[in-house]
Amino acid sequence: MKIKQYQVDAFATRAFEGNPAAVCPLDGWLDDDLLQAIAEENNVSETAFFVPSEKGYRLRWFTPVKEVDLCGHATLATAHILFEKLGYAQQVITFETRSGDLFVKRNGRQLEMDFPASSLTPCEISAILVEGLGQRPIEVLAAEDYVAVFDCEATVRAITPDQGLLSQLDLRCVVITAPGSEVDFVSRVFGPKFGIPEDPVTGSAHCELAPYWAKKLGKNTLSARQVSKRGGTLTCEVKADRVVLTGSAVTFMEAEIAF
């Protein structure tokens, strides 16, 4: 069997920045164990698989260790491949996913992703979280992830987490964030439970961060930078219970899986 595979740098304007994602178009679903094995072999933060559907496409995402409910950068990567490599001619793609229908619109060289917003709830600051980050945040909130808020960008950039301690926490990832010096807010994302020590750029985290910072800053359109080693920039617009994330992507590699 042979499967076409692309590798895309998402939330990037050139190769070697943003977040790498593997993208595999399929005619029909393969066995879940095989999908997971491909993702493990790729060893990037997410591998996306998609098949045609009546609405558009059914889309699934796998980290090297498990399937996830929502992934922003691999959705961006998939839409990029459909538009740039597979001849998708309409302006908007509908993806049916475990998180509901997601929409990606082409706007020049940018792609606009329409995702569900996620509401954060304040929670106690756990000792494991503080020890794992090596810094005590101003506040901690929770949704799919723990979101730890700090006072400045420099603190976020300087943190060296204890991945073993963070992996003991019960939620998906730990997101750290602060006001930005050149953008509205910055962030980093740690997901050791999912085989991702630090995710370079995380669309799903911005579904939590954008509503929080929109309320804090009194504005619905925000500029954001994920200050990982590779880094990535995106624009977030909060629209009621949805968040529109805008970014670009670059194809790094075209390959073929043979097994």
- Domain shared by 111 and 126, yes or no: no
Cα–Cα distance for residue pair 21/65, rounded to 1 Å: 15
- Domain shared by 55 and 132, yes or no: no
Residues whose CB falls within 8 Å of the CB of residue 162, separated by 6 or more in sequence, listed in order: 131, 132, 133, 134
258 pLDDT higher than 90 = yes
pLDDT of residue 259: 85
72 pLDDT higher than 90 = yes
Picking from 4, 40, 11, the residue whose alpha carbon sits closest to that of residue 245 is 11
pLDDT, tens digit, 9 for 90 and up, residues 160-187: 999 999 999 999 999 999 999 999 999 9
- Domain shared by 99 and 126, yes or no: no
State which H helix or E strand residue 131 sits in: helix 127-133
pLDDT of residue 51: 98
Cα–Cα distance for residue pair 116/238, rounded to 1 Å: 10
Cα–Cα distance for residue pair 18/6, rounded to 1 Å: 15
What is the pLDDT averaged over residues 125-152? 97
For 106-125, letters b (16+ CB in 10 Å) and e give beeeebbbbbebbebeeeee
Cα–Cα distance for residue pair 60/62, rounded to 1 Å: 7
Encoding tokens for residue 165? 């301690």
49 pLDDT higher than 90 = yes
Pairing relationship of beta strands 57-62 and 92-97 according to DSSP bridges: parallel
52 pLDDT higher than 90 = yes
155 pLDDT higher than 90 = yes
Q: How confident is the model at residue 31 (pLDDT cuts 50, 70, 90)?
A: very high
Instruction: Say what percent of the chain tops pLDDT 90.
Output: 97
pLDDT of residue 1: 86
97 pLDDT higher than 90 = yes
What's 16's domain CATH number? 3.10.310.10
Question: Which stretches does DSSP call E strand in 1-70?
Answer: 2-10, 19-25, 46-52, 57-62, 67-68
pLDDT of residue 44: 94
- Domain shared by 139 and 63, yes or no: no
Cα–Cα distance for residue pair 85/5, rounded to 1 Å: 11
- Domain shared by 233 and 254, yes or no: no
Tokens 């699934």 correspond to what residue?
60
- Domain shared by 110 and 54, yes or no: yes
Q: Answer whether 23's CB lies under 8 Å from 77's CB.
A: yes
CA 35 remoteness from chain centre? 19
- Domain shared by 101 and 205, yes or no: no
- Domain shared by 197 and 225, yes or no: yes
Encoding tokens for residue 212? 């929080």
Q: How confident is the model at residue 6 (pLDDT cuts 50, 70, 90)?
A: very high
- Domain shared by 21 and 83, yes or no: yes
pTM, entire model: 0.92
Tokens 């880094």 correspond to what residue?
231
CA 245 remoteness from chain centre? 10
- Domain shared by 93 and 23, yes or no: yes
Q: Which residues are catalytic?
A: 46
39 pLDDT higher than 90 = yes
Domain that holds residue 212: 121-239
Structural domain total, the chain:
2
What is the pLDDT averaged over residues 225-229? 96
- Domain shared by 145 and 179, yes or no: yes
- Domain shared by 95 and 135, yes or no: no
pLDDT of residue 57: 98
Encoding tokens for residue 123? 């929670």
54 pLDDT higher than 90 = yes
Instruction: Say what percent of the chain tops pLDDT 70.
Output: 100
